[in-house]
A and B are shown apart, each in its own frame.
Chain A
Amino acid sequence: MADQAVATGVALPERRLASYLKSNIREYGMLLSLVAIMAFFQIVTDGTLFKPLNLTNLVLQNSYIVIMALGMLLVIVSGHIDLSVGSVAGFIGALAAVLIVRFELNFVLAMAICLLTGAAIGAAQGYFVAFFRIPAFIVTLAGMLVFKGLALAILQGQSIGPFPQSFQLLSSGFIPDQFNGTDLRLTSLFLGIIAAVALMVMDFRLRRNQFEHGMDEEPYSLFIIKNLVFAGAIIFLSYLLASYKGLPNVLVIMFVLMLLYDFGTRRTTIGRRIYALGGNEKAARLSGIKTERLTFYTFINMGVLAALAGLVFAARLNTATPKAGLGFELDVIAACFIGGASAAGGVGKVTGAVIGAFVMGVMNNGMSILGIGIDYQQVIKGLVLLAAVFVDVYNKNK
Chain B
Amino acid sequence: MSTTRTSSAGSATPGLPPVLHLRGIGKQFTAVRALHDVEFRLFAGEVHGLMGQNGAGKSTLIKVLTGVFPADRGEMRLSGELISPANPHDAQLLGISTVYQEVNLCPNLSVAENIFAGRYPRRGGRGLWRIDWPRMARLAKERLARLNLDIDVTRSLSSYSVAVQQMVAIARALSVQARVLVLDEPTSSLDDDEVQRLFSVLRQLRSEGLAILFVTHFLDQVFAIADRITVLRNGERVGEYLTPELQPQALVAAMIGRELDTTSVARAAAATEAQAEQAPLLRATAVARRGQLLATDLTLRPAEIVGLGGLLGSGRTELARLLFGLDRVDSGALEIQGEAIALDHPAQAIRRGLAMCPEDRKFEGIVPELSLRENIILALQARLGIWHFLSRARQEEIATRFLRVLDIRAGDIESPISQLSGGNQQKALLARWLATEPRVLILDEPTRGIDVAAKQEIMNEIMTLARQGMAVLFISSEFEEVVRVSDRIAVMRDRRKVGELPGGSSTEDVCQMIAATS
**Could you list which residues of chain A lie within 8 angstroms of chain B, going by C-beta atoms?**
209, 213-216, 268-270, 272-273, 275-276, 279-280, 282-290, 346-347
Q: Which of A213, A286, A347 gathers the greatest number of chain B CB atoms within 10 Å?
A: A286
Q: In the assembled complex, how far is the CB of residue B252 from the closest CB belonging to chain A, in whole angstroms? A: 32
**A and B contact pairs by CB, cutoff 8 A, 18 listed:** A216-B412, A269-B386, A270-B386, A272-B374, A275-B374, A276-B374, A279-B367, A282-B363, A283-B367, A285-B326, A285-B346, A287-B346, A287-B378, A287-B432, A288-B347, A288-B351, A288-B379, A347-B369
Residues in A with CB closer than 8 Å to B370 are: 272, 275-276, 279, 346
Set of chain A residues within 8 Å of B365, measured between Cβ atoms: 280, 283, 286
B356 CB–A CB distance under 8 Å: yes
A275 touches B369 (CB 8 A): yes
CA distance A6 to B412 in the complex (A): 30
13 further contact pairs, Cβ within 8 A, besides A269-B389, A275-B374: A273-B386, A276-B370, A279-B367, A279-B368, A279-B369, A279-B370, A280-B367, A283-B363, A287-B346, A287-B350, A288-B350, A290-B345, A346-B368
Closest 6 CB pairs of A and B: A288-B382, A279-B367, A288-B350, A287-B379, A288-B347, A282-B364
Q: A279-B369, A283-B366, A285-B346 are in contact. Are A215 and B382 (CB under 8 A)?
A: no
Could you say which residues of chain B place their CB within 8 Å of the CB of A216? Answer: 412, 414
Complex interface: chain A residues within 8 A of B396 (CB): 213
B414 pairs with A290, CB closer than 8 A: no
B18 vs chain A, min Cβ distance (A):
36
Residues of B within 8 A of A284 (CB): 367, 378
Q: How long is the Cα–Cα vector from A215 to B350 in the complex, in angstroms? A: 32
B383 at the interface (CB under 8 A from A): yes
Collect the chain A residues with CB atoms within 8 Å of residue B366's CB. 280, 283
B26 within 8 A of A: no
Residues A290 and B412 in contact in the complex (CB < 8 Å), given A273-B382, A346-B367, A346-B369: no
Q: Does B85 contact A (CB under 8 A)?
A: no
Q: Which residue of A lies closest to B393 (CB)?
A: A213
Q: In the complex, what residue of chain B is closest to A268 when comparing beta carbons?
A: B389
Contact A215 B356 (CB under 8 A): no
Docked Cα-Cα span, A285 to B326, in Å, equals 9
Question: Are A215 and B412 in contact (CB-based, < 8 A)?
Answer: yes
Contact A289 B368 (CB under 8 A): no
User: A209–B364 Cα gap in the complex (Å)?
Assistant: 33
Is B456 interfacial (CB 8 A cutoff)?
Answer: no
Q: Is the CB of B383 within 8 A of A288?
A: yes
Q: A213-B396, A268-B389 are in contact. Are A287 and B368 (CB under 8 A)?
A: no
Chain B residue at minimal CB-CB distance from A285: B346
User: A280: which B residues are within 8 A, CB to CB?
Assistant: 363-368
Q: Which residue of B lies closest to A279 (CB)?
A: B367
Does any Cβ of A come within 8 Å of B204's Cβ? no
Contacts A213-B396, A269-B386, A270-B386: A286 and B367 contacting too (C-beta < 8 A)? no
Q: Give how many A-B residue pairs fall within 8 Å (CB-CB).
A: 83
Bound: A280/B432 CA distance, A: 15
Closest partner residue, chain A, to B364 (CB atom): A282
The one of B350, B367, B383, B412 in contact with A276, judged by C-beta atoms closer than 8 angstroms, is B367
| Residue of A whose beta carbon sits closest to that of B360 | A282
The docked-state distance in angstroms from the alpha carbon of A287 to that of B357 is 9
In the complex, what residues of A have CB within 8 A of residue B379's CB? 287-288
Across the interface, which residues of B come within 8 angstroms of A268, CB to CB? 389
Q: Which residues in B have some Cβ–Cβ distance to A below 8 Å?
A: 324, 326, 345-347, 349-351, 356, 358, 363-370, 374, 378-379, 381-383, 385-387, 389, 392, 396, 412, 414, 432
Contacts of A288 in B (CB 8 A): 346-347, 349-351, 379, 382-383
Residues of chain B within 8 A (CB-CB) of A213 are 396
In Å, the complex CA distance between A275 and B375 comes to 11
Give the most central of B350, B367, B383: most A CB within 10 Å.
B367
A287 touches B412 (CB 8 A): no
Docked-complex contact A286 and B374, CB < 8 angstroms: no
Smallest distance from the beta carbon of A140 to chain B beta carbons, Å?
24
> Closest CB of chain A to B346's CB: distance in Å?
5
B382 & A289 in contact (Cβ 8 Å cutoff): yes
Minimum CB–CB distance from A304 to chain B (whole Å) comes to 18
A273 to B367, CA, bound (A): 11
- In chain B, what residue has the closest Cβ to A346? B369
A309: shortest Cβ distance to chain B, in Å?
A: 26
Shortest Cβ distance from B415 into chain A, in angstroms?
A: 9
**For A209, what are the chain B residues with a Cβ–Cβ distance below 8 Å?**
392
Contact B326 A286 (CB under 8 A): yes
Question: Which residues in B have their C-beta under 8 angstroms from that of A289?
Answer: 347, 378, 382
CB pair A286–B412 under 8 Å, yes or no, is no
User: In the bound complex, how far is the Cα of B425 from the Cα of A283, in angstroms?
Assistant: 13
For residue B319, give the distance in angstroms from its CB to the closest CB of chain A: 16
Nearest CB of chain A from residue B309's CB, rounded to whole Å: 24
- Docked Cα-Cα span, A124 to B326, in Å, equals 26
Using A213-B396, A276-B374, A282-B363 as known contacts, say yes or no to A287 and B369 having CB atoms under 8 A apart. Answer: no
Q: A269-B381, A276-B367, A276-B374 are in contact. Are A286 and B414 (CB under 8 A)?
A: no
Interchain CA distance A279-B417 in the complex, whole Å: 12
Q: For the complex, what is the distance from the CA of A213 to the CA of B378, rounded to whole Å?
A: 20
Question: Closest residue to A292 on the B side, CB-wise?
Answer: B345
Instruction: For residue A20, give the distance in angstroms from its CB to the closest CB of chain B.
Output: 14
User: Which residues does chain B contribute within 8 Å of A283, judged by CB atoms?
Assistant: 358, 363-367, 378
* Residue in contact with A286 in the complex, picked from B364, B368, B385, B387, CB distance below 8 Å: B364
Contacts of A275 in B (CB 8 A): 367, 369-370, 374
Give the residues in chain B near A287, CB-CB below 8 Å: 346, 350, 378-379, 382, 432
Q: How far is the CA of A288 from the CA of B354 in the complex (A)?
A: 10
Whose C-beta in chain A lies nearest to the C-beta of B357? Answer: A286
On chain A, the residues within 8 Å of B345 by CB distance are: 290
Chain B residues within 8 Å of A270, by CB? 386
Q: Taking the nearest CB of chain B, how far is it from the CB of A142, in angstroms?
A: 26
Bound complex: CA of A286 vs CA of B357, how far in Å? 9
The closest CB in chain A to the CB of B381 belongs to A269
Distance A288 CA – B379 CA, assembled complex (angstroms) = 6
* Docked pose: A220 CA to B396 CA in angstroms: 24
Minimum CB–CB distance from A212 to chain B (whole Å) comes to 9
What residues on B are CB-neighbors of A276 within 8 Å? 367, 370, 374, 378
Shortest Cβ distance from A282 into B: residue: B364
* A contact residues around B351 at 8 Å (CB): 288
Chain A proximity of B322: nearest CB distance (Å) = 14
Residues of B contacting A286 with CB < 8 Å?
324, 326, 346, 356, 358, 364-365
Roughly how many angstroms separate A286 CA and B369 CA in the complex, as a whole number? Answer: 17
Q: Tell me, in angstroms, the Cα distance from A215 to B372 when the chains sit together.
A: 14
Chain A residues with CB under 8 Å of B346's CB are 285-288
Instruction: Tell me, in angstroms, the Cα distance from A181 to B93 when the chains sit together.
Output: 80
Can you name the residue of chain A whose Cβ is closest to the Cβ of B365?
A: A283
What B residues does A346 contact at CB under 8 A?
367-370
Nearest to B326 among chain A residues (CB) is A286
- Which of A269, A282, A290 touches B347 (beta carbons < 8 Å)? A290
Cβ contacts under 8 Å, B324 to chain A:
286
Docked pose: A275 CA to B379 CA in angstroms: 14
CA distance A289 to B378 in the complex (A): 9
Most buried by B among A272, A275, A290: A272
Q: How far is the CB of B452 from chain A (nearest CB, A)?
A: 26
B414: A residues at CB distance < 8 A: 215-216
